[in-house]
Amino acid sequence: MSDVSFVRTEMLPEKEPPASEVGILGWIRHNLFSSWLNAILTLAALYLIYYALSNILSWTFESVWNANSLSECREIMMATWGDTHGHACWGVIKDRWLQLLYGFYPPYPAHPDATWSNPPETGGWPAYFRPNLTFILLLVSIAPVLFTKAPRKLLFVTAAYPFLLPWLMWGGSIWGPLMVAAGFAIGYFVYKLALPAAGSLTALILAIVLPILWWLFASGPVAVAIDSVIPIGIEPVQSRDFGGFMLAILLGVVAIGVSLPIGIVLALGRQSDLMIVKYLCVGFIEFIRGVPLITLLFVASLLLNLFLPPGTNFDIILRVMIMMTLFSAAYMAEVIRGGLAALPRGQYEGADSLGLNYWQAQRLIIMPQALKISIPGIVSTFIGIFKDTTLVSIIGLFDVIGLTNGIRADTAWNGVYWELFAFIGVLFFVVCFSMSRYSMYLERKLQTGHR
């Protein structure tokens, strides 16, 4: 027997992987056609996507922009494509986009007869810059809150914003918002002065009661008095004229901005050992959550009117704002309570062992973690309340949905549906999608690696 054993002495060179396993082909094979069942599903899905897109895209882009009525749109469609189906009539958006965005906000409040297309002779910027500026300032003022990289000095804008917003939107004398702001200053100084003399509890009570007295009885007359001496102001705009997407953003921003702090307080109150505080919070949360939002809106628009003395002019937008804020605060409280419940007991004990008092522990240890856990829930509550603002159309406010009804009542546009709703859908999608992306960014940034 001869020795025929054969042992390879060197490695074979690596071969290229088969063409069917790499590159686009490989990806397609693995992900789309890995079995005959998947292949069928892939083909069916592709056909569905093609079918939907071919209709939607041709509807969107083979469309009429330059028309002043639906019938004119139809004439143009007949002349161009020989068919009125499957073509959008964007003329309605071109005609009414300002109204859809700003409602009846007067472009020139000082000149009631002037319109956007027919400005007064004195010229000047249309008042639409006021809501626009309010919105830009909103972005500026929340930047330092949202992004740690933003300059810290912007926090001054954030502090001023709650006073700037009503002044810019409603107009009038600047002294009103300033006097309201003065109330906070009064509270602060009273606390500082009374603290050494009267002890912390008395100082706290004084710091709460005195500003409230100021707001209720003094701030109004003082503002009027100063205004009569040094009148500084911009043309006032009635709440009735607010509408369109601006109203949705206004209601959404106020409800979101105010409900978060109230929600935190309610969530803490619900976990409190003080019985009265606890049951007040539980009662509030459960009552509000047990009632549909539309019911609260009806209370705001109808019932309050019956309770208040006749002739009382309690601003309808303000009433709606309060109701929406209370509503979202109750949900916010439960979302944050979820975050608090997820914290292990050791965190509380750790805070105690460091000798922190209740508020220090909440501020430095508990809340940062609880809020981080609750981010997805908080943001979905935000998005939810923002979309719920469209419910105000049911109580007769002209938000975007209410406006579609008003626009259709114009004989020129009676019969237009999809174009209006598609436009509104895009507006809402942009805002809600941005909020959702931001929450994902925030979650990634705050990821401290517990898993």
**Ranges within 378-437 binding other proteins (CB under 8 A):** 393-398, 402, 404-411, 414-415, 417
* Residue in the block written with tokens 């700003």: 102
Closest CB to other proteins among 339 and 402?
Answer: 402
Residues 6-45 that bind other proteins (CB under 8 A): none
The answer to whether 261 contacts other proteins (rule: CB under 8 A) is yes
How is residue 409 annotated by DSSP? Answer: T
The answer to the question of residue 257 lying near other proteins (CB under 8 A) is: yes
Q: How far is the CB of 220 from other proteins (least distance, A)?
A: 5
- Show the CA angle centred on residue 89, arms to residues 87 and 93, nearest 5°: 145
Q: Smallest distance from the beta carbon of 406 to other proteins, in angstroms?
A: 4
Q: Which is nearer to other proteins, 309 or 344 (CB)?
A: 309
In 10 A of CB 315, how many CB atoms? 13
Query: Strand pairing partners for 234?
Result: 172
CB closer to other proteins, 323 vs 361: 323
Q: How far is the CB of 88 from other proteins (least distance, A)?
A: 15
Distance CA(83)–CA(79), nearest Å, equals: 8
Could you tell me which stretch among 6-14, 27-35, 108-116, 431-439 binds other proteins (CB under 8 A)?
108-116
HEC sequence for 379-397: HHHHHHHHHHHHHHHHHCC
Q: CB neighbours (10 Å) of residue 402?
A: 20
Q: Shortest gap between Cβ of 33 and other proteins (angstroms)?
A: 39
As a residue count, the chain comes to: 451
- Interface stretch with other proteins, choices 128-136, 175-183, 431-439, 441-449 (CB under 8 A): 175-183
Give the shortest CB-323-to-other proteins separation in angstroms. 11
Binding other proteins (rule: CB under 8 A), the pick from 119, 162, 338, 377 is: 162
Q: Which of 42, 58, 59, 74 binds other proteins (CB under 8 A)?
A: 74
Region 213-232 residues binding other proteins, contact defined as CB under 8 A: 215-216, 219-220
Contact between 377 and other proteins per CB under 8 A: no
Pair 263, 335: CB distance under 8 Å: yes
> For residue 97, what are the contacts with CB-CB under 8 A and spacing of at least 6?
423
For residue 412 the two structure tokens come to 């020129």
Of 227 and 443, the one with the shorter C-beta distance to other proteins is 227
Shortest gap between Cβ of 79 and other proteins (angstroms)?
14
Nearest to 392 by CA among 321, 306, 290: 321
Check: CB of residue 350 under 8 Å from CB of residue 430.
no
> 50 or 116: whose CB is closer to other proteins?
116
Cα–Cα distances (Å) from 432 to 13, 346, 347, in that order, read 54, 37, 34
Under rule CB under 8 A, how many of the chain's residues touch other proteins? 73
Contacting residues for 259 by C-beta, under 8 A, at least 6 apart: 325, 326, 328, 329, 332, 381, 385
Under the binding rule (CB under 8 A), the answer on residue 119 touching other proteins is no
DSSP structure class, residue 424 = H
Residue 96 within binding range of other proteins, rule CB under 8 A: yes
CB 231 → other proteins: shortest distance, Å?
16
Distance of CA 140 to the CA centre of its chain: 15
Distance, in Å, from the CA atom of 245 to the CA atom of 101, rounded to the nearest integer, reads: 5
280 contacts other proteins (rule: CB under 8 A): no
**Does residue 159 bind other proteins (CB under 8 A)?**
yes
Positions in 315-334 near other proteins (CB under 8 A) = 315, 318, 321-322, 325
In the complex, the smallest distance separating the C-beta of residue 408 from other proteins, rounded to whole angstroms, is 6
What distance in Å separates the CA atoms of residue 133 and residue 100, rounded to the nearest whole number? 18
Would you say 158 or 380 has its CB closer to other proteins?
Answer: 158
Taking the C-alpha atoms of residue 280 and residue 282, their distance in angstroms, rounded to an integer, is: 6
Cα distances (Å, whole numbers) of residue 224 to 348, 393, 395: 50, 34, 33
Q: How far is the CB of 190 from other proteins (least distance, A)?
A: 17
Tell me how far the alpha carbon of residue 256 is from its chain's centroid: 6
Which range binds other proteins by CB under 8 A, 154-162, 191-199, 333-341, 434-442? 154-162
What distance in Å separates the CA atoms of residue 70 and residue 412, rounded to the nearest whole number? 6
Q: Specify the residue, 159 or 430, whose C-beta has the smaller distance to other proteins.
A: 159
Closer residue to other proteins in complex, CB, 310/346: 310
Using CB under 8 A as the binding rule, whether residue 298 contacts other proteins is answered as yes
Least separation, in Å, of the C-beta of 116 and other proteins?
Answer: 7
Binding residue for other proteins, selected from 33, 59, 81, 184, defined by CB under 8 A: 184
If binding is defined by CB under 8 A, does position 5 make contact with other proteins?
Answer: no
